Structure 1
Amino acid sequence: MLPPAPARAPRDTDAAVRSTDSDAAQARLSAISKGYLFDQFAHHLVPRARFATPRPPLINHGTHVRATALDTLVDEWLVAGGVDVKKQIISVGAGSDSRFWRISTGPLKDALHAYLEVDLPENTLAKAMAIRKSKELSAVLGDNVTLTLGGQGLESPRYVLAPVDLREDPAQTLQPFVARGMLDPSIPTLIVAECVLVYMDRAASDRVLRWAANTFDVAGGLVYEMFGLNDGFGRVMRENLLARNVQLPGVDAYPTLHDQAARFRQTGFVTVQRALSLRTIRATHISSEERARIAQLEMLDEVEELELVLAHYVIAFGVKASDPESPFASWNLPAALPVVR
C-alpha cells in the first residue's frame, strides 16, 4: 500500500499581485537613476537595489508623469489651509513606497500629524525589515520604534506600518487605528491608493473609500490605476497580466474617466470628484520647463506609444468637506506641475 501523498501547500493566489510592487519599485529606481525623479530613500526599501535593471525611456517617462502628479496632489493636500493645519495620510497597498520619509524630511513635515501604511503581511514584513536594517530610514522615525505582530508591523509616534487585507471589512481592519487614537477623525485625512483598488472587486474597493468618507470630518481620496481596457491595447495588457497570473477584478467597474470621478461621489466624497488620464496630465499639466528638462535625459522615439499607454492610466481624486469654504474644497492638480529638483 502506497503511503498517503503529502499535503499540497495551499496556492498563494496573492503572490502575483504582490510582485507588481516590485515592478513599480524597479521602475521608480530606474527613473531616479536617470534623473527623472529624486528620492534619497527609495533604494533602502528595495532588495538588491544596486542591481536594478534600467528601464527603457518609455517606462521612465511614464513613471515621471505618475510620480510627479501624485506627489504634487499629496503636497497640495498638505498645504491646504496652511502647514500649521495638521493632516493625516493613509496609504493602502503601500508596498515599498518612500513617501513618508520624503515628506518627513521635506518642507511640509510640520503639516503631517500621522501616516499609516497598510499592505498584505508579506509586503509589510519585508518593509519592516528594510526599515530596521537602514540607518537612514530608522533615523527619520526616531528612537521610539516598536516591531509588532511578529515583525509584520512597525509603530512609531507618527508612522505606523501594519498588515491588512483590504478585501476584508474596514470596520474590522482599519477602524481599530481610529479606536486606539492613532488616527484622529477630526483631522483632515487623505487616503492614497496607488494601483491597488483595481486588484479588488468593486464592492471591496468601494468599502475602503466609503469607510474613509464616513470616518473623517474632512476626507480626501486619491486613486491611481489602469482603466479603459476594452480596446485593442487594453486587451493586450490584460493578456500580458494574465500570463503572469495577475487579474484585474476591479478594472471594468470604472471604465471611463467619468466613471472614475463618479466613484467618489458614490462613496461619499460629495464635495469634489475629478479624474484625469496620465496622457492629459503630461500634455496639459507638466510645465514647459520640466518637459524641457526631461527631454534632455533620454531620447524618446516611441512618443505615440507612450501616449497610448498613458491614456490607459488614471489619477482620480475626491473630497468630502462639509464646509463649502473649506480650503480642501479647492484641492486640485495645479495648472503647471513643479520642476523636479
Structure 2
Amino acid sequence: AGDEPVPAPATGRPNPAPADGGHDPDTAVGVLVIDTGLMHDYRSYPPLAHTDGDLQIRETDEDGVLQQYVGHGTFIAGLVAAVAPNTDVTVRNTLNDCGAILEDEFGEKLFDAVEQGGWPDILSLSAGTSNGRVDGLLGLDAFLRALRAQRTLLVAAAGNNASATPFWPAAYGSLPEYADAVLSVGALRADGEFGACFSNHGPWVRVYAPGERLTGALTGFAAPVPYVYQHSTYESCRYGFGYACTCRSPRHTGVLSDGSGKPDQVMFEGFASWSGTSFATPLVAGLVAAHMTANKETDPRAAARQLLEKNTAFAEVRGAHVPALRPAGWRPAPVGPS
C-alpha cells in the first residue's frame, strides 16, 4: 500500500460512502478479490453482508497485535461493495503472507482461485511487481493467456513505486492483445487534481481513481485491536511533492525507524483510512460493476469500454466530487527526486 492504515472513528463516514441500491442475487455482478483473507468480523460492515470467501489465517501475533497487511483484502472488498451494492464479492487469501508470493507460484494460485468458483465477471487484483521488462511476467503468462479467452475483466493496481516502469500484471492492459481484458489503475491524490505521490504512472496506466486516504472497513468492530506502525512518517514527501501527502500525514513513528524512538501503537475499532493504488483499483472494479447493473450490461469488458468512452463517472472523495476515472491521456504531476 501507499502508507499504513490509520484508525478512523467508528461513528465516522466511510469514503466513498455506500451507494444507494440493493442486492439482487439474480443479477448481482460477480467480483473476485485476490488478496489477503477476510477478517473475522468483516460482516459487521453492512455493505459486506453478501461477501464470502477465505478468512485471514492469522490476524495477530503472539502479543495480540495486528500483523502487517492483515485487513487489506477486507478493506478492498468493502470498497467494491460500497461502490457497487449489487455484487457478489468473493475474497481469496492467495496473498496471505503479508502480500508476498513467488512469481511462478502466483500464476498457479490465480488458476486455483478462479477454479474454486469459476471465472468471475470482474477480478480485482491489488498486487504485482516490476521486472524491468516490457513483455510481462513469465510466471503469469499461462494465466493471462487463459484470461484473454474468457469474458472476465482483470482490474489491476498500477503499484506504489512513484515510477513509470511497467508494473505487472496491470501493464498487460497496454499490450494490444490484452487491452480488452486488463484495466490498469493508478491513484489520484485526495484533492483529485493530480496523481498521488506514490502512484505509478505512464502510458501503460489506463485510468486513475481516488486512492489517497480512503476510509472503509478493517477490523475491531467487536473489540478494539492494537496495531504497531512499521514505518515512520517522513518529514517531507519522499517523492518530492509539496502537498500534505501520505508520506507526511498523519504523524507516527515506526518500529523499523532508525533510533527515532518508541514505535506508535494505535487501536482499530472497525474503520481505517488507507492509501494506495490497491484501493483505487476496487473503486474502478466497483464502478464497472455498477455500470453493468445500471445498464443491464452483461459483458464486463464492454462496460469498461463504455465507462472509458463516457469518462463521466464521479465518486465522493473527502467531501468533494472529483472525477473517479481519468482517461489514458491524462498525466500525473511530475515526480521529483526521491
**Shared fold per TM-score greater than 0.5:** no
Normalising by structure 2, report the TM-score: 0.39
Decide which structure has the larger Cα Rg and report it. 1
Of structures 1 and 2, the one with the larger relative CO (CA 8 A, separation 6+) is 2
Normalising by structure 1, report the TM-score: 0.39
More helix by share: 1
